[in-house]
Amino acid sequence: MKVHAAPLLATAVAHLLTAGAVHAHQPPEPVEALATEFLHAQASGLPGDISIEVGQLDRANQLPPCASLQPFLPPGTRAWGQISVGVRCDSPVVWTVYLPARVSAVTDYLVAARPIRPGQIIGPEDLRLERGDLAAQPPGALTDMARAIGHHARFAVGAGNTLRAEMLRLPPAVQQGQTVKVIGSGAGFRVSNEGRALNRAGEGESVRVRLPNGQVVTGVARAEGVVEVRF
Protein backbone atom coordinates (compact mmCIF):
# COMPACT_ATOMS: atom_id res chain seq x y z
CA MET A 1 0.00 0.00 0.00
CA LYS A 2 1.34 3.42 -0.95
CA VAL A 3 1.46 5.93 1.89
CA HIS A 4 1.28 9.64 1.06
CA ALA A 5 3.63 11.20 3.64
CA ALA A 6 3.11 14.84 2.69
CA PRO A 7 -0.60 15.06 3.59
CA LEU A 8 0.03 13.23 6.86
CA LEU A 9 2.87 15.62 7.74
CA ALA A 10 0.76 18.65 6.93
CA THR A 11 -2.04 17.33 9.11
CA ALA A 12 0.36 16.74 11.99
CA VAL A 13 1.83 20.25 11.71
CA ALA A 14 -1.63 21.79 11.57
CA HIS A 15 -2.63 19.84 14.67
CA LEU A 16 0.43 21.08 16.56
CA LEU A 17 -0.19 24.68 15.55
CA THR A 18 -3.84 24.47 16.54
CA ALA A 19 -2.99 22.90 19.87
CA GLY A 20 -0.44 25.64 20.54
CA ALA A 21 -2.95 28.35 19.70
CA VAL A 22 -5.59 26.82 21.98
CA HIS A 23 -3.25 26.62 24.96
CA ALA A 24 -1.46 29.97 24.44
CA HIS A 25 -2.41 32.54 27.07
CA GLN A 26 -1.29 35.95 28.27
CA PRO A 27 1.68 35.75 30.68
CA PRO A 28 0.62 37.54 33.88
CA GLU A 29 3.99 39.13 34.69
CA PRO A 30 4.01 41.83 31.95
CA VAL A 31 0.46 42.88 32.85
CA GLU A 32 1.23 43.15 36.56
CA ALA A 33 4.54 44.95 35.98
CA LEU A 34 2.94 47.48 33.63
CA ALA A 35 0.10 48.20 36.08
CA THR A 36 2.60 48.71 38.91
CA GLU A 37 4.80 51.04 36.85
CA PHE A 38 1.74 53.02 35.75
CA LEU A 39 0.52 53.51 39.33
CA HIS A 40 3.98 54.62 40.47
CA ALA A 41 3.90 57.33 37.80
CA GLN A 42 0.35 58.37 38.74
CA ALA A 43 1.27 58.58 42.44
CA SER A 44 4.55 60.42 41.98
CA GLY A 45 3.19 63.70 43.39
CA LEU A 46 1.73 62.24 46.58
CA PRO A 47 3.26 63.12 49.97
CA GLY A 48 5.14 60.68 52.18
CA ASP A 49 6.52 57.22 51.50
CA ILE A 50 4.60 55.68 48.62
CA SER A 51 3.96 51.96 48.42
CA ILE A 52 1.95 50.19 45.75
CA GLU A 53 0.50 46.70 45.80
CA VAL A 54 -1.06 45.20 42.67
CA GLY A 55 -3.03 41.96 42.67
CA GLN A 56 -2.13 39.05 40.43
CA LEU A 57 -3.64 38.18 37.08
CA ASP A 58 -5.06 34.66 37.07
CA ARG A 59 -2.27 32.29 36.05
CA ALA A 60 -4.88 30.11 34.33
CA ASN A 61 -6.33 33.00 32.32
CA GLN A 62 -7.63 32.30 28.82
CA LEU A 63 -6.60 35.68 27.39
CA PRO A 64 -4.78 35.57 24.05
CA PRO A 65 -1.17 36.85 24.21
CA CYS A 66 -1.01 40.61 23.67
CA ALA A 67 1.48 42.63 21.64
CA SER A 68 0.29 46.07 22.83
CA LEU A 69 -0.74 46.63 26.46
CA GLN A 70 -2.14 49.95 27.72
CA PRO A 71 -2.74 50.68 31.45
CA PHE A 72 -5.47 53.07 32.62
CA LEU A 73 -7.57 54.10 35.59
CA PRO A 74 -11.38 53.87 35.42
CA PRO A 75 -13.16 57.24 35.06
CA GLY A 76 -13.26 59.20 38.30
CA THR A 77 -10.54 57.08 39.90
CA ARG A 78 -7.26 58.46 41.24
CA ALA A 79 -4.16 56.57 42.34
CA TRP A 80 -5.10 56.69 46.01
CA GLY A 81 -6.21 54.01 48.47
CA GLN A 82 -7.97 50.80 47.42
CA ILE A 83 -8.68 50.93 43.69
CA SER A 84 -8.83 48.90 40.48
CA VAL A 85 -6.32 49.48 37.68
CA GLY A 86 -7.19 48.47 34.14
CA VAL A 87 -4.93 47.00 31.46
CA ARG A 88 -6.22 46.95 27.90
CA CYS A 89 -4.90 44.91 24.98
CA ASP A 90 -5.09 46.72 21.65
CA SER A 91 -3.48 44.06 19.42
CA PRO A 92 -3.86 41.46 18.03
CA VAL A 93 -7.05 40.72 20.01
CA VAL A 94 -8.82 43.39 22.05
CA TRP A 95 -9.45 42.56 25.71
CA THR A 96 -9.45 44.34 29.08
CA VAL A 97 -8.68 43.16 32.60
CA TYR A 98 -8.88 44.91 35.98
CA LEU A 99 -6.48 44.20 38.82
CA PRO A 100 -7.09 45.15 42.46
CA ALA A 101 -4.48 47.58 43.78
CA ARG A 102 -3.68 49.65 46.82
CA VAL A 103 -1.74 52.92 46.81
CA SER A 104 -0.49 53.95 50.25
CA ALA A 105 1.14 57.25 51.26
CA VAL A 106 2.67 56.90 54.72
CA THR A 107 3.35 60.30 56.29
CA ASP A 108 2.65 62.44 59.38
CA TYR A 109 -0.81 63.98 59.69
CA LEU A 110 -2.55 66.13 62.30
CA VAL A 111 -4.97 64.90 64.94
CA ALA A 112 -6.67 66.77 67.77
CA ALA A 113 -4.66 66.29 70.97
CA ARG A 114 -7.70 67.31 73.03
CA PRO A 115 -11.29 68.39 72.38
CA ILE A 116 -11.57 71.54 70.29
CA ARG A 117 -14.54 73.90 70.69
CA PRO A 118 -16.37 75.65 67.85
CA GLY A 119 -14.74 79.03 67.20
CA GLN A 120 -11.63 78.16 69.20
CA ILE A 121 -8.30 79.44 67.86
CA ILE A 122 -6.09 76.42 67.25
CA GLY A 123 -2.76 76.40 69.10
CA PRO A 124 0.18 73.97 69.05
CA GLU A 125 -1.03 72.38 72.30
CA ASP A 126 -4.28 71.38 70.56
CA LEU A 127 -2.54 69.22 67.98
CA ARG A 128 -0.25 66.27 67.66
CA LEU A 129 1.24 64.35 64.76
CA GLU A 130 0.47 60.74 63.99
CA ARG A 131 2.10 58.66 61.28
CA GLY A 132 0.12 56.42 59.03
CA ASP A 133 -1.38 55.87 55.61
CA LEU A 134 -2.80 59.21 54.48
CA ALA A 135 -4.97 57.37 51.94
CA ALA A 136 -6.78 55.71 54.85
CA GLN A 137 -7.67 59.11 56.37
CA PRO A 138 -10.69 61.27 55.46
CA PRO A 139 -10.27 63.58 52.45
CA GLY A 140 -8.62 66.90 53.26
CA ALA A 141 -6.50 65.58 56.14
CA LEU A 142 -3.87 68.18 57.11
CA THR A 143 -0.18 67.30 57.34
CA ASP A 144 1.39 70.67 58.26
CA MET A 145 1.04 72.34 61.68
CA ALA A 146 1.40 75.75 60.06
CA ARG A 147 -1.78 75.13 58.07
CA ALA A 148 -3.83 74.87 61.28
CA ILE A 149 -2.24 76.96 64.04
CA GLY A 150 -3.85 80.39 64.47
CA HIS A 151 -7.06 79.50 62.62
CA HIS A 152 -10.56 79.20 64.09
CA ALA A 153 -12.33 75.86 64.34
CA ARG A 154 -15.57 75.86 62.37
CA PHE A 155 -17.14 73.23 64.64
CA ALA A 156 -16.27 70.90 67.52
CA VAL A 157 -13.52 68.33 66.95
CA GLY A 158 -13.17 65.34 69.25
CA ALA A 159 -9.80 64.37 70.72
CA GLY A 160 -7.99 61.90 68.50
CA ASN A 161 -9.89 62.87 65.34
CA THR A 162 -7.94 63.57 62.17
CA LEU A 163 -7.88 67.31 61.47
CA ARG A 164 -9.27 68.18 58.04
CA ALA A 165 -9.20 71.45 56.12
CA GLU A 166 -13.00 71.73 56.21
CA MET A 167 -12.88 71.84 60.04
CA LEU A 168 -11.07 75.20 60.02
CA ARG A 169 -11.80 78.71 58.79
CA LEU A 170 -8.89 78.88 56.39
CA PRO A 171 -8.13 81.84 54.13
CA PRO A 172 -9.53 81.26 50.64
CA ALA A 173 -7.30 79.41 48.22
CA VAL A 174 -9.39 80.76 45.35
CA GLN A 175 -11.24 84.09 45.14
CA GLN A 176 -14.36 84.67 43.07
CA GLY A 177 -13.37 86.03 39.66
CA GLN A 178 -9.77 84.85 40.02
CA THR A 179 -7.99 83.29 37.04
CA VAL A 180 -7.09 79.76 38.09
CA LYS A 181 -5.14 76.86 36.63
CA VAL A 182 -7.45 73.91 36.00
CA ILE A 183 -5.84 70.47 36.05
CA GLY A 184 -8.12 67.76 34.71
CA SER A 185 -7.41 64.05 34.87
CA GLY A 186 -9.24 60.89 33.96
CA ALA A 187 -8.68 57.41 32.56
CA GLY A 188 -5.09 57.57 31.36
CA PHE A 189 -4.92 61.32 30.66
CA ARG A 190 -4.01 64.61 32.33
CA VAL A 191 -4.66 68.06 30.84
CA SER A 192 -4.41 71.64 32.07
CA ASN A 193 -6.22 74.84 31.17
CA GLU A 194 -7.07 78.24 32.59
CA GLY A 195 -10.45 79.42 33.77
CA ARG A 196 -12.23 81.94 35.96
CA ALA A 197 -13.47 80.94 39.43
CA LEU A 198 -17.18 81.53 39.95
CA ASN A 199 -17.07 81.33 43.75
CA ARG A 200 -14.68 81.73 46.65
CA ALA A 201 -13.31 78.50 48.17
CA GLY A 202 -10.81 77.40 50.78
CA GLU A 203 -8.33 74.66 50.03
CA GLY A 204 -10.12 71.34 49.72
CA GLU A 205 -13.50 72.98 49.10
CA SER A 206 -15.62 72.78 45.95
CA VAL A 207 -15.25 75.54 43.36
CA ARG A 208 -16.97 76.15 40.01
CA VAL A 209 -14.82 77.36 37.12
CA ARG A 210 -15.80 78.76 33.74
CA LEU A 211 -13.43 77.62 30.98
CA PRO A 212 -12.54 79.75 27.92
CA ASN A 213 -15.08 77.82 25.79
CA GLY A 214 -17.87 78.73 28.21
CA GLN A 215 -18.12 75.32 29.84
CA VAL A 216 -18.53 75.32 33.62
CA VAL A 217 -16.78 72.57 35.58
CA THR A 218 -16.65 71.80 39.30
CA GLY A 219 -13.40 70.92 41.00
CA VAL A 220 -11.49 71.07 44.27
CA ALA A 221 -9.56 74.21 45.23
CA ARG A 222 -5.86 73.73 45.93
CA ALA A 223 -3.03 76.05 46.92
CA GLU A 224 -1.57 78.62 44.53
CA GLY A 225 -4.75 79.04 42.49
CA VAL A 226 -4.99 75.45 41.28
CA VAL A 227 -8.29 73.62 40.78
CA GLU A 228 -8.35 69.83 40.37
CA VAL A 229 -11.11 68.33 38.22
CA ARG A 230 -11.76 64.59 37.87
CA PHE A 231 -13.44 63.22 34.75
pLDDT in tens, 141-198: 999 999 899 999 999 999 999 999 889 988 888 999 999 999 987 656 678 899 999 9
Clarify whether residues 181 and 151 are in a common domain.
no
CB contact at 8 A, 193 and 211:
yes
pLDDT digits 0-9 by tens, 84-100 = 999 999 999 999 999 99
Q: Where are the alpha helices (DSSP H) in the chain?
A: 5-23, 28-42
Q: What are phi and psi of 66, to 5 degrees?
A: -110, 140
In a domain, 12, yes or no: no
In a domain, 7, yes or no: no
pLDDT digits 0-9 by tens, 172-186 = 889 999 999 999 876
In a domain, 177, yes or no: yes
Q: What mean pLDDT comes out for the span 62-76?
A: 93
Give the largest CA-CA distance in the chain: 105
Amino acid identity, residue 15? H
In a domain, 94, yes or no: yes
Clarify whether residues 40 and 97 are in a common domain.
yes
Average pLDDT across the chain, whole number: 87
CB contact at 8 A, 10 and 97:
no
pLDDT > 70? residue 47 = yes
Local structure of residue 157 (DSSP, 8 states):
B
In a domain, 88, yes or no: yes
pLDDT > 60? residue 55 = yes
Q: Percent of the chain scored above 70 by pLDDT?
A: 88
